[in-house]
Structures are given as C-alpha cells and as structure tokens.
Amino acid sequence: MKLSSVKNVSKKIGLPPGSLVHIGNHISETTSVSLLKYSADSIEELSISSPKECSDHITDGYITWINVTGLSDVNTIGDIGKNLGMHPLILEDILNTSHRAKIDDSDEYISIIIKVLNYNEKDSIIEREQVSIILGDGFVATFQEKKSDIFNGLISRLQHPSSRLRNMKSDYLVYAIIDTIVDNYFALIEHIGDKVESIENMLFESADSSILNEIHNLKREMIFLKKSLWPLREILSSLQRSDSSLIHSSTSMYFRDVYEHIIQILDTIESLRDVLSGMTELFISISGNRMNEIMKVLTIISTIFIPLTFIAGVYGMNFRHMPELESTWFYPWFLYSLMLAIVFGMLAFFKNKKWL
Amino acid sequence: MKLSSVKNVSKKIGLPPGSLVHIGNHISETTSVSLLKYSADSIEELSISSPKECSDHITDGYITWINVTGLSDVNTIGDIGKNLGMHPLILEDILNTSHRAKIDDSDEYISIIIKVLNYNEKDSIIEREQVSIILGDGFVATFQEKKSDIFNGLISRLQHPSSRLRNMKSDYLVYAIIDTIVDNYFALIEHIGDKVESIENMLFESADSSILNEIHNLKREMIFLKKSLWPLREILSSLQRSDSSLIHSSTSMYFRDVYEHIIQILDTIESLRDVLSGMTELFISISGNRMNEIMKVLTIISTIFIPLTFIAGVYGMNFRHMPELESTWFYPWFLYSLMLAIVFGMLAFFKNKKWL
Amino acid sequence: MKLSSVKNVSKKIGLPPGSLVHIGNHISETTSVSLLKYSADSIEELSISSPKECSDHITDGYITWINVTGLSDVNTIGDIGKNLGMHPLILEDILNTSHRAKIDDSDEYISIIIKVLNYNEKDSIIEREQVSIILGDGFVATFQEKKSDIFNGLISRLQHPSSRLRNMKSDYLVYAIIDTIVDNYFALIEHIGDKVESIENMLFESADSSILNEIHNLKREMIFLKKSLWPLREILSSLQRSDSSLIHSSTSMYFRDVYEHIIQILDTIESLRDVLSGMTELFISISGNRMNEIMKVLTIISTIFIPLTFIAGVYGMNFRHMPELESTWFYPWFLYSLMLAIVFGMLAFFKNKKWL
Amino acid sequence: MKLSSVKNVSKKIGLPPGSLVHIGNHISETTSVSLLKYSADSIEELSISSPKECSDHITDGYITWINVTGLSDVNTIGDIGKNLGMHPLILEDILNTSHRAKIDDSDEYISIIIKVLNYNEKDSIIEREQVSIILGDGFVATFQEKKSDIFNGLISRLQHPSSRLRNMKSDYLVYAIIDTIVDNYFALIEHIGDKVESIENMLFESADSSILNEIHNLKREMIFLKKSLWPLREILSSLQRSDSSLIHSSTSMYFRDVYEHIIQILDTIESLRDVLSGMTELFISISGNRMNEIMKVLTIISTIFIPLTFIAGVYGMNFRHMPELESTWFYPWFLYSLMLAIVFGMLAFFKNKKWL
Amino acid sequence: MKLSSVKNVSKKIGLPPGSLVHIGNHISETTSVSLLKYSADSIEELSISSPKECSDHITDGYITWINVTGLSDVNTIGDIGKNLGMHPLILEDILNTSHRAKIDDSDEYISIIIKVLNYNEKDSIIEREQVSIILGDGFVATFQEKKSDIFNGLISRLQHPSSRLRNMKSDYLVYAIIDTIVDNYFALIEHIGDKVESIENMLFESADSSILNEIHNLKREMIFLKKSLWPLREILSSLQRSDSSLIHSSTSMYFRDVYEHIIQILDTIESLRDVLSGMTELFISISGNRMNEIMKVLTIISTIFIPLTFIAGVYGMNFRHMPELESTWFYPWFLYSLMLAIVFGMLAFFKNKKWL
C-alpha cells in the first residue's frame, strides 16, 4: 500500500480547479470504451467510433452501460463527460485516483467514486483501483483505471433474460456493481483474517522479530483499509435514503443490504486491529519472557561456578602454612564433597525459590 | 471463535443478490419444520407434509409458531419463505449465518437475525449459532442452524393456560424468544467473569506465560463478543420504538427491559475488557519484577565472590618476594578475617542501599 | 467488588419475565415495612399489620413514605407492589439487585433504581446496595436490601416543621433521598482520592510490586464505579426534564443540581482513572530505572575486578622464565601501583562517561 | 493541585440542600463588600454599612458592580443573596468552592461560577480560586474567595469615560470579567508550554528519573485543567445563544469570541497531553537504550577478559609435564601475542557485528 | 513548530477587547497594500496612496481584491478595517496570528482566518503563516503576515479572460484562494508521508535512538497539524451550507470539493499518527530484541569459559597429593579433550535449546 494515498497529488498544485489531469499509477493503460444496451427483452453490445456518440445510444426503455477502462486519454474522458453533461469537478475526481471515496447527488445524475481492493499474493500488497460510477437517467457510466475481470460475473448475469438485473432500472445496475465490489472486500478481509490467524499460531513458537514486522504491516494495512472504506458508510446510507428520482424505492432495500455489509466489514476491520494490537503486546512479552529465561539459566550457571572458582583459587595460594594442603585425604574429600555440596546446595536453593 | 465471522462469505462472490446459498458450519444438519398453534384457550402441535402448507395453519385468533431447524435444505427454506411472503434478501440473510445481527421492518413482517452464544466447556470456545425470527400477523417463524434445547423452557411455559405468553399477541412471543437468548448471554458473561477472576488470582502466584495467552484469548473473545452484541442495541431500541402495527404498546415495555439488559451486558463486556487490559500490563510488570529480583540476587552473589577470587589470585602469584606468604598466622587471619570482612562489608552496603 | 455485577443472574434463566425472584447477597435479611406520613403541619410514624394496607394510608394533603428493608420475603414485596399498582417488571427489577441503575416513567408513578456505595474500611472493598424509589401521587416507596442508617439524617430533618421537606411535595422527598445517596458518592470518591494520593507518595520511595496491585485494584474499582454511576446521568437528566405531573417545576432545579453533582463525580472518576494509568506507567519505569541502576553498579564492580583478576592470573602462571617474578620491588610496586592505576583509570572512565 | 477537587465536600453530608456552609481553603479571609456604580457619564465608588443596602444602590440608567471578597462570613453572603433575590441553591454553590464551573439561567438573573487559575511559581502548583458572577438587571455581583488584583486592569479601564465598558450594558461587564479570567488561562497555558519545551530539551541529555516525575505532574495538571475548563465551553456557548433579556445581541458576538478562546485553550491542553504522553514513552525508551548501551560495554569488557583469565589459569596449573612452561621464549610470545590476538580478534568480531 | 500556538498571547492580557496589537513573529515586515480590480472584460492593478481609499475602488460589476502583506503597521490595518466597515473583533483576530482558524458570518461580510503551512527543508520545521480573508459585496480582502508567492499562480490565472475566475463572483475568488492553500497542505502531507516511509525503512537497519526522536517530532507535528486543520472542517462546511447572500449556489459545490479535500487530509493525518505510533512500538521492540541478542551471545561466551576457568583453577591448587598432576599424558588429554568436550557439550545444549 505504501501510504500511496497521499502521493502524486502535488502534481496538480497551481492548476485551476476542474483541470483534467490524470493522477494515478496505471498511467500507461490506453483508454477504451464499451457499451452494453439492454432492456427486459434484448441485450446488445455496441461499439462507438467517437466518445461524443455515447449519448446517442441512450434511449427510453433501455439501459445503457458505458464502461470506460484506462484513464490516460484525458481528452476522450473529457469528451465523454461533456457528452453526458457531467460537471467538470466530477471529471476531475474521476481522473484523480488518489481521491477519497465519495458520492455527489446532483439533479441529473448521481456520481459515486469507490475503490476496488485486491490482495496481490505475489507481492503481499493490497492493490487499489478506483472505479467511478455515474448513474444517469437510463444509463450507467463506469470508469476503471485498467481492464479487469471484476465485472465479468455481472455481465454474464445480464445475459439471462429472467435475471432481476434485466427487469429493474439503472439504479439496480449500480447496486449490482457496488455489491460486486463489496463482495470483493469480504474476500480481502477473509484473506487478512487467515493471515492474522496464521501469525497468531506462530507467536508461541518463534521469537523471530520478523513476526513483529508482519504484524506491523497488517496493522498498517488495517489503518489504510479503514480509511478507504469508512466513506462507504456515508455513501451507501445516502444512496439508501436518497430522494433523487434516479433511485427507486424498490432498490433502496438492496442498498440497505450493502450498507449493512459495509458496517460488518468495518466492524471486522476494527476487531482485527484490536486483535493485532493485542498480538504485538503478546509477542513482545512472550519474547521478553523467553529471553529472560535464557539469561536466567546462563546466570545461574555462572553463579554456581563462581564460588567454586573462588575456593579453587584459595587453595592455589602460595602460603607456606596451609595445613590443609599437606593432608592426603583432604584433596579428594574436598573436591568431591565440599564442591558437590555447594553445587547441590545452590541448586536446591534455586529450586526452592522456584528460579529453576 | 477463531475469527469465524469473516469466513466462508467468499463462497457467494459472483452470485446475484438474493441467491439462496447456505453459508455456515452446520451444513449437514437436515432441515425439519415444527408448528405450534395456540390461543388463550388451546395449544396443539401440528405436523405438515410440505413447506407450502405453513400459511394454511395461520388462522385469526391463533398464534402459530413455525420453528425450522437445520438450514441445509435450501429449497425447503425457500418454499417456506415464499409461502410466508418473505423478501428474497431476508431469506438470503437467514441462510448466511456469518451475517451481522440485524432487524428489517417491512410493512407485513419484522425480521430479526440474532446470535445464540454458548460456552463450550470442552473446547473452551464460544459457540455461535444464528437464530432468525420472523414476526408476521398471527405467526412467528424461527430458523435455527441446528436442533437445540434453548427454547424448551419457553415451550413448557406455553403449556400453562394462565401464562402471560398464552394471553398476549405474537409480538410477546418474539419478546420471550429474545429474552431467552439474552438470558443466555448473561450466563456466558458470568462464566467469563469467573474465568477473569480466577486468572486474576493466579497473576501474583505464577509467572507462566501461558497466563498471557489466556488473557489474550479472553480479550479476543471480548472483542468479538462486543462486535456480535453491539447491533442488538439498535435492534431492541427499534423494536421498542417501532410504530409497526405488529408491535403493541403493551409489549413495548418488555422490549425496553431487554434493551436495558443488553446495555448492561455491553457495559460489562467493556468493563471486562478494561480489566483484562490492566491484567496484561500487571502480568508483564509483575513477571518483569520477579525476573529482575532473581537476576539481582544472582548478580549480587557473583559480585561478592569476584573480589574474593581476585584476592586469592593475588596470593597465588609466584613472586619470589611476597613477605605475607611466609607468615604463619597470615593465612588463617587472612582467610577468616579479611575475606569475611569483605563479604559482610558488601552485604551491609547492599542492605544499606536497600538492594537486598 | 469482585465483578459481582455479573453474578447470580443465571439463577433466573428459564423463568418467565416478571417472575419475582430475589437475586442478591443479603438474602437472609428479613423484610420489614415502616411508614412515615407527614404534611406541613404534622408527622407520624405508622405501623401496618399487612402489606396490603399500604395504600390505605395514602391520603390527600399528606405525603406517605413507605420504606421497605430486606428483600428476602418475595411475597410481601409482591403484595406491596400489587397494592400500590406497580407493573410486575418493576417489581422484578427491585428484587434483582444486580440490575443497572434505571428510571421508568409510567403515567401513574416514576420508579428509580439506584445504588448506594459504601467503602468498607475493614475489607478494603466498595459495598454496593440497591435502593429502589417509587414516586407516586402522594407517596414515595423505597426498597432497601438491608437496614442502614443512610436516611437517618433525612428523617431527623423531616421532624422540623419549618424544613423545606415538610413544605414541598413528594417529588422533593425523592430529590432529598437521591441527594443523600449522591453525597455518599462524594465521600467515597474523596476516600479514593486520598488513597490515590497516598499511593502516589509511595511511588518514589518503594519498589514493592504490591503497589502495582493496589493501583490495579483502584483502577478496577474505577471501571466498575463508572459503570455503576454512568446511568445516573440519564436518570437525573430525565427527572429534570420530565413532563410527568408528579415532578413539579419548583423541584426540577433541585434535580438539575444533583445532575451537576453526578457530572462532577463522573469527571473526577475519569480524571482519577487517567491519573492511575499514569501512575502504573510511572511505577514501572521508576522501578525499572532503579533496578537498572543496581545492575549497573554491580556490573561495574565485576568489570573493575575482572582485569585485575586476569593480571593476578598472569603472574600465577608457572613459566620458568618470567623475569618479573624475580624482582624484589616488582611485587609491591605492581600490586600498589599498577592495579590501583587500573582501578582509578576505570573509575575515571566510567565517571567521564557519566555511568557513575 | 493535589486532587483538591474532591476534597472537603463530605463536610456537607447530611445537611439539607441549600444549607450555607463555606467549603474551601481560604476560610480565614474576612468578607468585604465594595460597590462601583457607573453610567456613560459618571462613575463612583460606594461604601455600604450593611449587606442589606446593596439593592438600594441599583438604579435605572446605572450599572452597579457589587464585588464581594472573602467567603468566610456566611451570614453577610446570605444577606446579600436575599437582598438581591437569589435562590438558596445559587448561594450554596457560591460558597462551595469545590464546585464545577456552571451557569444558571433563571428569569431574573444569570449566575456563572468560574475558576481563576494562577501558576504559583514558588511552589510549582496551580492555584485555583472560584469567582461567582451574578448578572441581574442593572447590576453585576461578583464573589471572590480572597482579595486579588485580577480585576485591577478592568477597574482602571472603567475610569475612562470613552471606554466601551462605560457605554455598554451590564452584560458587557460580565463579558469583560470572563475575558480577563480567560486571558489568565492563556498565560497559564503558555507557562506550561514553556515547561513542556524545557523538559523536552532535557530528555536527550539526562537520564534522571525526576524528569519522569515532572512529566507525570504536568500530565496530571493537564487532566485536572481540562476537567476544570471543559464546562466553560457549555457556559459560553449558552451565554452566546441565550435568549435571556439580560444578554443583548450586540454583546453576543463578544461571548462568541471568548468561546473560541476557550476552544483554543482546550485544543492546546489536549495537544500538550498528547505531547507529554509521547515524551514519557520517549524518555523510557531513551533511558532504556542508554542503560542497555552501558551494560553492553561493561559486558563486552568482561567477555574479553574471561577467556584471557582462563588461559592464564591453564598455565597456572601444577602439572608436572607441561612442556610450554620450560620454554624461554614462550612466555613473552604467549603474553604479548596470543593474548593480544584474542583481544583484537574479539574486538574485530564485535565491531563487525556492529556491537561497538 | 515549537508549541508556538500558545506563545505571545500573554502580551495582550489586561488590554480591552478589540485592542489592535500585533501578536506574531514577522513583526518587522512592513505593511503594503495592493489592489487588483477585475471583471469578465478587464483587469487592472491599482495603487492607492492611503488605506482610506480602499472602498473607493469597490464598484458595481467589478471584483476588487485588496491584498495586504505585513501586519506590523497596526494603524494602516485599522484604517483599512474601518474603511471596509469591519468589526473591531475581526481586526483584532487578523492581527493575532496565534489565533485558531475561524469563520465569522455577519450580514455584510464573511471573514475567514486560515493558516498557510509550509515545510522548511533547511530547518526541518513546518512554518505557519496566517491568512485572513474578508469576503464582502464586490470585494475580497486578504491579509498575509509577509510577502509570499503562494498566490502567484492564482494571479496569473486571473490574467486569462476566459478563466472561470474572471467569470464568477467574488465568492469564487475566495474559493480559489482557499483551494490554493489546501493544495499546499497536500504537498506538506505528501512530504511528511515520504519522511514516514524513509524512517520506516531505517527501522530494521539501525538501532540509533535518534530515529526515536525523529518519530517523536513527526508525531508532535501531526498533533499540531491536526489541531491547526481541524477547524477547517467546520469552516468549509459552513461556507458550503451558508445562506449568506455573498455565497452563490453555483460556488457551493466548489466549497464542498474543498471540504472533502480537508476530510481526506485529516484522515491521512490520523492514519499517519496511527502508523507513527506503531513505529515507535516497533522500534522499541526491535532495538530491545537486538540488544537482548547481543547480551545473550556475550553471556553465552562467559558461561562457556567460567566452568573451564574453574577446572584450570582446580589443577592450580597446591595440594601435595593430587595424583593427576604427576601423570605425563593427563595434561594434554585433559586440555585437548575434557575442555573441548565441555565446550562442545555446552554449545550443543544451547543449540538444542535454540538459544543460538
């Protein structure tokens, strides 16, 4: 993730508001536009020669889904925007992929900016992609940073004439898109939950401080995940309660369902953060305890030998008059008895004190 | 508990909303339906041959309690749902046992999803089961993940013609069901409180780091418990203030009573979490202190012997001219006096410094 | 305190709501009822032969204070309740002494459940007793767990014909009762404040880890105290703003005064908790520092002697050709100069490094 | 500060509400009353012979400022209170100097209780004094615990006929009094900010644990400061929005200004607390690091000498057949080479490991 | 930053409210006034001879931007204020640069006080400058502490006749000014994000406690940054919802855009604080672990040699009857075998225990 949310925005400093500049990482992705026009009876994929044709395909009785992938061609995006009658600030937000998730509810359309989050197994990072959704009268426009297969399931569901998607208005398509994205969050959270659990199992086995680093990284991911998803509460709550004519009361219950999923995800993130905080604390004290145990044993070994060495030193002194030295039996008695007595005495003392 | 709340949801990704898929652990439990039909005057248990018969048994002047156990037979559940006129999203929620507790207040029925929590002594884990309650006009339908004896007390109370249950409407039955579940929470919390106390008593006696693990586990249980129970506040507060025609004003005071129990439980969970946090801190510093004491004593022993060993080393030197070595009385005087003086001098010094 | 708030509730599991079961510790206390009937002009103590007589003594123009002590006789309490027209749930709450403080504002009476807290010097614990107050038209009923002298001051004030108590309505008596209980909280908090201060003074003098335990206990007491007193905010705020005909506008200012006392108490509890948290931290680091100092001095002593012992060891070697050993003046010079030089050199080095 | 906020209140337990008892520390200060009567045209200082004369000096077209210093003479205060028509509870609050800051907005007057905070350089404590302000129609009464010069600037401004004070109503005088007190808070906070900075500079230089104590004291001061000032938000916000006829709309902007100062002070207190928390942590880890460094160096010294001592010990053994001992050149070679090799080898190893 | 927010305010204590005193650091900067008058058709820079001329240049159909730099000349500022009809309290706030960001919405103008934050690379501190913006009918007045180039981009955009700035009202100019300042915050946050990342990379490489100091400084900067920017939420939210006739509905969407930027910045600050807190914890435990590892190795070295030294000491004793000493082969066998056996035995034991 790498704190990317605060990056690249400075590129825009000094430009007038509404300036179309693409701020993002997938800058090389070429822009392509695809149209899907459907009603309860028919569905067809359309190709357009110019971005200015978009609005020609929006007809009464049909829903047109305009899907734009790749944000590098600022002019094309600008043309589509003008063609669909969008406010320059909305276009600016679509291109600025470091933007916070948001909703704008104007009279003619509702624009939603939302993040798709994917766990990249290879690099162990969470990839973030921005999807902008414009809900207008009879059409839905989506803008993705790059081609992805996230909406494939949706498109194949659209092929079934009996599917609810085909029989509802454009607001239901927006719901289905958001629901797909939110289901992705569940997969991500589940993945993170697995990682937390596997780290938890390692806590009591290993003292490797790389665990600490992994916990730290997960914690940071949680911080930024929460920051990314928090605005969705507001977005879905305002979709659900919207009095815009674009949102029909029959769809509003579906938005409420997604709203509750978001609450559940945010709760889980919060809980995982709490668990991770507890784990840091636990790791530190377990590894502290383990180290203390080692030092204690080492120190006990030294402590046992130091008095013995002293006694050996005493009888290594060169005094002329040390009667003990003359005695034949003093040496073995001394060595085998006194010293062993000291050793076992100390061990018994330590045992008694519960230091061993 | 094992973070299970985020598990298995991914199974549903890509399916259209309202798809009936059972997400849960008790997947093998067969689905069975039992009916209890009662009024102030009579009570009878009914058996049905097909899920589509349910609505036939709902008659004016009687309350019918349809209890479904086992969620594996998705078709049966779907048929019951259609038969009772439930929205597909509600059915989906009933089958998804990883769902957050929630309430849905539509015109025709109120649906409540709630968790039953049981402490499993054998495995030392909290078992969680989802119970969905549908309150309709003249009937209450409950969906449990598996057969359990939690409602036995309720059913035996229903047998008494004079019981308040028999003389109130279906909303009072819903209250009684929720009250039974909430009373179970009290037992769970009481159990956890006992464990916290018993760990607290061990804190000052043992330095075993397994205590830390137990505290960590309890803390994590508290985190997920709070997450599970938090939505109940909202649910009961909205039941109590509901202006649905299904909730009568005479029952609303009972819902308020349960609401207050929930608040009390949440307060207690919060307090226990605070106490547990204090205990981790306390354990770490007590065991740190104890270890420090041990190291101090060991180091004092070494420190006393090291100068003595040095003195012995001095008189072990082989210099030709060391007049002390020739003296007859120097050795005993030296050994018994100087060294003892050093030992007692150091001990006195340490005592004076309050190191001993 | 011993987490008692979550205890004994399980006794009730499985019973129908409104079942009168006494949940509490003072179970052996016999139930006795006393009546005090007063107006501006007269006051008399009444004795009743049966609990069903209570309502006979409630007359216009007089205020009757029915004080019940001891909750063991469930039937008597039930009879009084029925006699005064109380809802079964209220009676259940009065008997369940593990209940959270609460207020119920029905049309005919206002019931308040509140805790009396006393510091038991002997056992160093906070004793908790539940007092339930029922404010009806022309009467106030109080239910205490056991006989106590907490209301003696109030009763003696009632004897003075000119006291405000005698000249106001029954709501003022309720105010006076709550005010007495809240004044008790101040005494308790003052007592705890003294203990905090005395522990604070010990922090810099002693390293005994029993201090940690005392801080931990005080912290836990604060957690449960806050939990106990928090609901009082709501209770007094709702008394003050009540539009019940039982609360007169002239009394409402008095309730506001108590409300502010409660806020002040809760603020103080919060502050004391913060101070106690700081003290744990302080104790741990002071005692860590002190231990470190000791270890440092001990290690410095060893470090000074170890090179000396090495030098003594060198001249204790048995090489045939060690010219130094033959020299007459080498031994004293060596012993008194070289070694002293090493000792003072090391001490100077440590001093210079500010290790001493 | 010494947790004084919870002290001395118990003196009142058992007394009826509204009892006039002085609770405070400046109990010996005699009570004196001074009057200042002014209009746009004139100003005169008045002396009164009896507290009951106060109201005689309140005339239309003039503003009378009654300043009472010293709260020991309860009767005088009571007489002034009755004379000005104040509620007994207000008088009780004025005399109880452990009271929380508060505002009471009755029909005839507004009473404000506020704390003056002064930093006592000599004893390094924050002194707290209570000032009560009564704003009535045409008069302002202030009650101070003791004579102080805090209002001198205000009084000298009143002497200028052109000052805004002389040309506004009594509510502006109240504003000016509160503003003076709040300006004092800024001085206090500035002083504390200086102390925090000077401690911060010492953190990296000294390991003296008295720093920890100073941080702890500052933190505690912050806790109680916040507790003291927090109610001012509410007080000033309610003054600013008051619809009392005593507050004129032209003054309300001034109250808003003070309100914002209070917010700024509270923000700063919060920030300073956060900084102080960071400093404790920093101190503990810096001093821990420093101690670790010392122990490391000492241990390295021991570790270098211990193998050397062992080698010396080997050649101090009395075996008959130790050929090395016979060699003439072995001793100097051994001493000057092998041992130096070991020393430099170990130093290089430690250096390589970055332990030195 | 140096806690400067609480500095210099005491200079004002005792002065009447509304006194014009400049409180700030750039006190020597001379005051200069520049005027920019523009409409959709024309733009001209004006010079004025006296501050009292300002209002003469405000004409219908034109927007006049009065930019004042340097706040030292209190009289000039006072004259401009009076000339534009500003309230004395607003002028006081403009001159008091330690003031909290705020908005004042009077009937005739809206005044906004806001902070410009710049990262000073050289001294590694955040420089703070106050900018006050007065939005009146047909004019905008800005007051800066010193000359800066922050508005240069804005001024050059104003030169283009087709720019939106030229075609909108004065409220859009205010928006553009605030937007420029907020863009600056993004640059600052981005800069801090870079620093956090670079410190994070150092955490695992170095144990230098200066890292701790850097983290502490960043944390403190975050605390004060949050404190500085927090009021902007309120300011922009009130601009966006303002019903003042000075704010046109077409501009309100732009203010909402800035509002969301502020929310994003505050979220990022909060996240960075959380990350920094995690880093302190991580650093402390990593460096603790590293130190423990060192001590462990050193202690192991000592522990291995201490028994060897003891054995050498035993055979250095001068007992007459020590048969081993006479043996020819005992010495080499003893030295090369027994001692090596002990060494390898201990190493194997430590390895087995995973201490090495």
Mean pLDDT of chain C: 86
Burial class from Cβ neighbours inside 10 Å (0-12, 13-18, 19+) for residue A11 reads middle
Counting one residue from B and one from C, how many pairs have CB atoms under 8 Å apart? 156
3-state helix, strand, coil in chain C (%, to 5): 55, 15, 30
- Can you tell me the distance from the alpha carbon of E183 to that of A21, in angstroms, rounded to the nearest whole number? 15
**Which two structure tokens, joined as six digits, stand for D142?**
């202030």
Counting one residue from D and one from E, how many pairs have CB atoms under 8 Å apart? 158
Residue D40 has pLDDT above 80, yes or no: yes
Could B216 and A264 be called an inter-chain contact, meaning their C-beta atoms sit closer than 8 Å?
no
The closest alpha carbon to C182, from B186, D14, A227, belongs to D14
**CATH architecture of structural domain B3-285:** 2-Layer Sandwich (3.30)
Measured in degrees and rounded to the nearest 5, phi and psi for residue A318 equal -100, 25
Could A312 and E310 be called an inter-chain contact, meaning their C-beta atoms sit closer than 8 Å?
yes
CB E6 within 8 A of CB D189: yes
Q: What is the pLDDT of residue A2?
A: 43
CB E17 within 8 A of CB D176: yes
Category of C70 on φ-ψ map: left (φ > 0), alpha (ψ -120 to 50) or beta? left
Question: Which amino acid, B279?
Answer: M
**Which two structure tokens, joined as six digits, stand for C316?**
């204790």
List C-alpha distances in Å: D118 to A143, B176, C355, D115: 61, 60, 40, 10
- Can you tell me the distance from the alpha carbon of C142 to that of C114, in angstroms, rounded to the nearest whole number? 11
Segment (H or E) for A330 = helix A330-333
Could E355 and A9 be called an inter-chain contact, meaning their C-beta atoms sit closer than 8 Å?
no
User: What band does C24 get if pLDDT is binned at 50, 70 and 90?
Assistant: low
Question: Residues of B with CB below 8 A from C223's CB?
Answer: 271, 274-275
- Can you tell me the distance from the alpha carbon of A39 to that of A59, in angstroms, rounded to the nearest whole number? 10
| Strand ranges, E, within E39-178 | 43-46, 63-69, 102-105, 110-120, 125-136, 139-144
pTM of the model: 0.81
In DSSP terms, D228 is beta-bridged to none
Could C320 and D312 be called an inter-chain contact, meaning their C-beta atoms sit closer than 8 Å?
no
Residue A179 has pLDDT above 90, yes or no: yes
Q: What is the pLDDT of residues D257-290, one digit of tens each?
A: 899 999 999 999 999 999 998 898 888 888 888 8
Residue D5 has pLDDT above 60, yes or no: no
Q: What is the pLDDT of residues C87-116, one digit of tens each?
A: 888 888 898 888 889 998 888 899 999 999
Could D325 and C320 be called an inter-chain contact, meaning their C-beta atoms sit closer than 8 Å?
yes
Residue B15 CA to chain centroid, in angstroms? 32
Please give, one letter per residue, the 3-state secondary structure of chain B. CCCHHHCCHHHHCCCCCCCCCCECCCCCCCCEEEEEEECCCCEEEECCCCHHHHHHHCCCCCEEEEEEECCCCHHHHHHHHHHHCCCHHHHHHHHECCCCCEEEECCCCEEEEEEEEEEECCCCEEEEEEEEEEEECCEEEEEECCCCCCCHHHHHHHHCCCCHHHHCCHHHHHHHHHHHHHHHHHHHHHHHHHHHHHHHHHHCCCCCCHHHHHHHHHHHHHHHHHHHHHHHHHHHHHHHCCCCCCCCHHHHHHHHHHHHHHHHHHHHHHHHHHHHHHHHHHHHHHHHHHHHHHHHHHHHHHHHHHHHHHHHHHCCCCCCCCHHHHCCCHHHHHHHHHHHHHHHHHHHHHHHCCCC
Q: What is the pLDDT of residue C74?
A: 87
Predicted confidence pLDDT, tens digits, chain B (356 residues): 344 444 445 555 666 666 777 766 655 678 889 999 999 999 999 888 888 888 888 988 899 999 999 888 888 899 999 999 888 888 888 988 888 899 988 888 999 999 999 888 777 778 889 999 999 988 999 999 988 888 998 999 899 888 888 989 999 999 999 999 999 999 899 899 999 989 988 887 776 778 888 899 899 889 989 988 999 999 999 998 888 889 998 898 899 989 999 999 999 999 999 999 889 888 888 888 888 888 899 999 999 999 999 989 988 888 888 887 888 777 777 777 888 999 999 999 999 988 87
- State the average pLDDT over residues D127-133: 92
User: What band does D13 get if pLDDT is binned at 50, 70 and 90?
Assistant: low
Length of chain C: 356
Of A171-180, A269-278, C314-323, where does mean pLDDT reach its minimum?
A: C314-323
- Structural domain spans, chain B: 3-285, 299-352
Q: What is the pLDDT of residues D136-160, one digit of tens each?
A: 988 999 999 988 888 998 998 899 8
Residue A26 has pLDDT above 60, yes or no: no
- Can you tell me the distance from the alpha carbon of A46 to that of A38, in angstroms, rounded to the nearest whole number? 10
Measured in degrees and rounded to the nearest 5, phi and psi for residue E267 equal -60, -45
Question: Which amino acid, B161?
Answer: P
Category of B238 on φ-ψ map: left (φ > 0), alpha (ψ -120 to 50) or beta? alpha
The closest alpha carbon to D160, from C258, E15, B171, belongs to E15
- Can you tell me the distance from the alpha carbon of D163 to that of D40, in angstroms, rounded to the nearest whole number? 9
Residue that is written with structure tokens 């007045």 in the block: E141
- Can you tell me the distance from the alpha carbon of A298 to that of A355, in angstroms, rounded to the nearest whole number? 12
Q: What is the pLDDT of residue B236?
A: 94
Q: Chains with ≥3 Cβ pairs under 8 A against A?
A: B, E
Q: Which residue among B16, B327, B331 sits closest to A163, beta carbon to beta carbon? A: B16
DSSP assignments along C135-155, one per residue:
EETTEEEEEESS--STTHHHH
Question: Which amino acid, D67?
Answer: N
- Can you tell me the distance from the alpha carbon of D263 to that of A80, in angstroms, rounded to the nearest whole number? 48
Could C318 and D318 be called an inter-chain contact, meaning their C-beta atoms sit closer than 8 Å?
yes
C51 DSSP assignment: G
Residues 6+ apart with CB under 8 A from D87: C253, D104, D106
Q: What is the pLDDT of residue A53?
A: 82
Using CA coordinates, name the residue in chain B closest to C329: B321
Question: Which candidate in C277, C291, C319, C346 is best for mutational testing of the D interface (most D CBs within 10 A)?
Answer: C319
Q: Which residue among E275, E300, E307 sits closest to A223, beta carbon to beta carbon? A: E275
E51 DSSP assignment: G
- Can you tell me the distance from the alpha carbon of D270 to that of A126, in angstroms, rounded to the nearest whole number? 35
Residues 6+ apart with CB under 8 A from A160: A166
Could A5 and E274 be called an inter-chain contact, meaning their C-beta atoms sit closer than 8 Å?
no
Question: Which candidate in C174, C254, C274, C283 is best for mutational testing of the D interface (most D CBs within 10 A)?
Answer: C274
Looking at the complex, report in whole angstroms how far the Cα of residue D138 sits from the nearest Cα belonging to chain C. Answer: 25
Q: What is the pLDDT of residue D12?
A: 58
Residue C27 has pLDDT above 60, yes or no: no
Q: What is the pLDDT of residue B106?
A: 82
Residue D123 has pLDDT above 50, yes or no: yes
Using CA coordinates, name the residue in chain E closest to D149: E14
CB B230 within 8 A of CB B265: no
Question: Residues of C with CB below 8 A from D14's CB?
Answer: 153, 180, 183
- Can you tell me the distance from the alpha carbon of A199 to that of A203, in angstroms, rounded to the nearest whole number? 6
- Can you tell me the distance from the alpha carbon of C321 to that of C324, in angstroms, rounded to the nearest whole number? 9
Greater model confidence, D120 or C207: D120
DSSP assignments along C318-349, one per residue:
--S--HHHH-TTHHHHIIIIIHHHHHHHHHHH
Measured in degrees and rounded to the nearest 5, phi and psi for residue C206 equal -125, 150
Looking at the complex, report in whole angstroms how far the Cα of residue C203 sits from the nearest Cα belonging to chain D. Answer: 10
CB E228 within 8 A of CB E128: yes
Please give, one letter per residue, the 3-state secondary structure of A89-111. HHHHHHHECCCCCEEEECCCCEE
Mean pLDDT of chain B: 86
Residues of chain E with pLDDT below 50 are 1-8
Helix (H, G, I), strand (E, B) or coil at C120: strand
Give the Cα-Cα-Cα angle E244, E249, E253 (nearest 5 degrees).
115
User: What band does D3 get if pLDDT is binned at 50, 70 and 90?
Assistant: very low
Could E278 and A220 be called an inter-chain contact, meaning their C-beta atoms sit closer than 8 Å?
yes
Q: What is the pLDDT of residues D145-201, one digit of tens each?
A: 988 888 998 998 899 888 888 989 999 999 999 999 999 999 899 899 999 989 988
Residue C322 has pLDDT above 90, yes or no: no
- Can you tell me the distance from the alpha carbon of E19 to that of D171, in angstroms, rounded to the nearest whole number? 19
Q: What is the pLDDT of residue E175?
A: 95
Q: What is the pLDDT of residues A80-128, one digit of tens each?
A: 999 998 888 888 889 888 888 999 888 889 999 999 998 887 777 788 8
Category of E144 on φ-ψ map: left (φ > 0), alpha (ψ -120 to 50) or beta? beta
Using CA coordinates, name the residue in chain C closest to D12: C183
Question: Residues of B with CB below 8 A from C299's CB?
Answer: 299
Residue C25 has pLDDT above 70, yes or no: no
User: What band does C36 get if pLDDT is binned at 50, 70 and 90?
Assistant: very high
Question: Residues of B with CB below 8 A from A177's CB?
Answer: none
Residues 6+ apart with CB under 8 A from C156: none
